[in-house]
Amino acid sequence: MDMTTETFNQTFLPVTDRLYRLAKSMLKEEERSKDAVQDVLIKLWEKRNSMNHVQNPVAFSLQMMRNHCLNNIRDYHETEEIAEEAVFNELNSYDKLEQQDAMKIIIHTIEQLPELQRTVIHLRDVEGLEIKEIAQITSLSENAVTVNLSRARQQIRKKLITLNIKTA
């Protein structure tokens, strides 16, 4: 079955923001992330007619982006970080500052996690993917995803407790 331009656009263009956020979290730089999205979309376009076996095109494209970014990182010998944006409620300025400080600590702690834990926590907590989808993207079992997610959250909690910062 051949994928038409219209089908391709309907399938993959809505995912470009997620692809960009994943790339940005791994590559850190806006331009490299935009280039990565374009590269992955080109690869998807080139493979469009041989993707009949793909059951979940969104997970497949995110897995392709992750692999592309890992190759890019290896090529540049860089480490990755998660640039997480915090959404703050209407708080007084002191509470807002406290929450911003806590978020900086969380981001810094996430940056120190092993690559796999960083990726899993990003896909789950930032992208909102299900464990099953993360397992497909990372080529791990669902149990391994759950373990890595738990360990990542445990490290963050431990750091916040050490610094006497309240957790939810």
Q: Which domains does the chain have, with CATH numbers?
A: 5-76 (1.10.1740.10), 93-162 (1.10.10.10)
Q: In which region does residue 164 sit, left (phi positive, over 0), alpha (psi from -120 to 50) or beta (all else)?
A: left
Name the pTM for this structure. 0.55
Q: What's residue 78's pLDDT? A: 37
If one counts every other C-beta atom within 10 angstroms of the C-beta of residue 31, the result is 8
Residues 123 and 162: their CA atoms lie apart, in Å, by 26
**Residues with Cβ within 8 Å of residue 83, at least 6 apart in sequence:** 24, 25, 28, 107
pLDDT in tens, 36-71: 999 999 999 988 888 878 888 888 898 899 889 888
Average pLDDT value for residue range 93-113: 77
| pLDDT of residue 167 exceeding 60 | no
Average pLDDT, the chain: 81
Average pLDDT value for residue range 141-146: 94
| pLDDT of residue 157 exceeding 80 | yes
Q: What's residue 41's pLDDT? A: 92
| Tokens of residue 130, six digits | 């299900």
| Tokens of residue 156, six digits | 């963050």
Residues 165 and 14: their CA atoms lie apart, in Å, by 38
